[in-house]
């Protein structure tokens, strides 16, 4: 199975400027995803896809493969699948062989174990999946505010916390995407999308602000590095 890993690291994060190269656990945030790809014997090749001059300079200095992503695919409003579409279109235009699957490694979810990918590949094959992606259980009392009035969404007022339904939150640790499905749907997701469930503390490993980076470092040291 040919798997190409893509590490999307555009510049100009609105909420956290310089986020993708901010130090996290001793190295730039995006390098955790690079190192995961480099160290995995399940990944055929990998590329950072970016328009950030600082990240490009780092890649060139460290001989990290990268793709210069046009700014049109790097806007805050750009579709989340656009960098994958850009990569595959590049291969098609150059008449290069397409991988069987693309693995998306978002820098904002930097802590992964190689066993995750192995188990996701097993799910991918056993379920004939279009996409296998990470989720975490989310058990919380959710509601909506309508005309200034709070209305419960997934529970009843007075219902015990332990009796509410379980929900699952999509997390960006890993997306294993069937390339044929992507080209058909122009989306990470197709008809058969299989969740790979991770412990709830991975909810705290999604970094989009400086505060979340601090929480992620604390979570790693408390739960994951032990």
Structure confidence by residue, pLDDT tens digits, 156-206: 999 998 899 888 999 999 999 999 999 999 999 999 999 999 998 898 888
Q: Which of 66, 104, 106 is nearest to 85 (CA)?
A: 104
Q: Which of 226, 216, 198 is nearest to 107 (CA)?
A: 216
Answer yes or no: is 208 within a domain. Answer: yes
Q: Give the structural domain span for 53.
A: 3-137+170-224
pLDDT band at 17 (very low <50, low <70, confident <90, very high): confident
Mean pLDDT of 108-135: 97
Answer yes or no: is 181 within a domain. Answer: yes
pLDDT band at 207 (very low <50, low <70, confident <90, very high): very high
Number of domains in the chain: 1
Mean pLDDT of 99-117: 96
Answer yes or no: is 151 within a domain. Answer: no
**What pLDDT, on the 0 to 100 scale, is given for residue 16?**
86
Answer yes or no: is 109 within a domain. Answer: yes
Answer yes or no: is 123 within a domain. Answer: yes
Give the lowest-confidence range in 56-65, 135-144, 169-178: 135-144
Answer yes or no: is 144 within a domain. Answer: no
What does 151-219 look like in DSSP terms, one character per residue? EESSS-TT--GGGSPPEEEEEEEEEEEEHHHHHHHSSS--S-EEEEEE-GGGGGG--SSHHHHHHHHHH
Query: What confidence tens digit (pLDDT) does each residue in 19-40 have?
Result: 999 999 999 999 999 999 999 9
**What pLDDT, on the 0 to 100 scale, is given for residue 226?**
67
pLDDT band at 53 (very low <50, low <70, confident <90, very high): very high
Joined together, the tokens standing for residue 175 give 């997306």
Answer yes or no: is 163 within a domain. Answer: no
Answer yes or no: is 159 within a domain. Answer: no
Mean pLDDT of 77-88: 92
CATH classification of the domain holding 42: 3.90.550.10
Residue 63 has pLDDT above 70, yes or no: yes
- How many angstroms separate the CA atoms of 147 and 182, rounded? 40
Residue 15 has pLDDT above 80, yes or no: no
């Amino acid at each position: 199975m040919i798997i190409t890993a893509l590490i999307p690291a555009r510049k100009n994060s609105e909420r956290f400027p310089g986020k993708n190269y901010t130090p996290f656990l001793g190295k730039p945030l995006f390098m955790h995803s690079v190192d995961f790809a480099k160290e995995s014997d399940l990944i055929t090749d990998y590329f950072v896809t970016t328009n950030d001059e600082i990240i490009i300079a780092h890649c060139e200095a460290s001989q990290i493969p990268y793709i210069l992503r046009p700014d049109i695919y790097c806007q805050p409003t750009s579709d989340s699948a656009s960098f994958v579409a850009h990569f595959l279109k590049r291969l098609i235009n150059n008449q290069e062989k397409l991988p069987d699957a693309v693995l998306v490694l978002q820098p904002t979810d930097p802590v992964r174990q190689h066993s995750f990918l192995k188990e996701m590949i097993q799910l991918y094959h056993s379920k004939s999946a279009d996409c296998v992606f990470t989720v975490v259980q989310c058990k919380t009392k959710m509601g909506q505010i309508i005309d200034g009035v709070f209305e419960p969404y997934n529970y009843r007022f007075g219902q015990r916390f332990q009796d509410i339904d379980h929900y699952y939150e999509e997390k960006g640790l890993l997306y294993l995407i069937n390339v044929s499905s992507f080209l058909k749907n122009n989306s990470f997701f197709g008809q058969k999308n299989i969740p790979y469930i991770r412990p709830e503390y991975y909810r705290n490993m999604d970094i989009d602000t400086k505060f979340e980076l601090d929480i992620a470092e604390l979570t790693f040291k408390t739960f994951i590095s032990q």
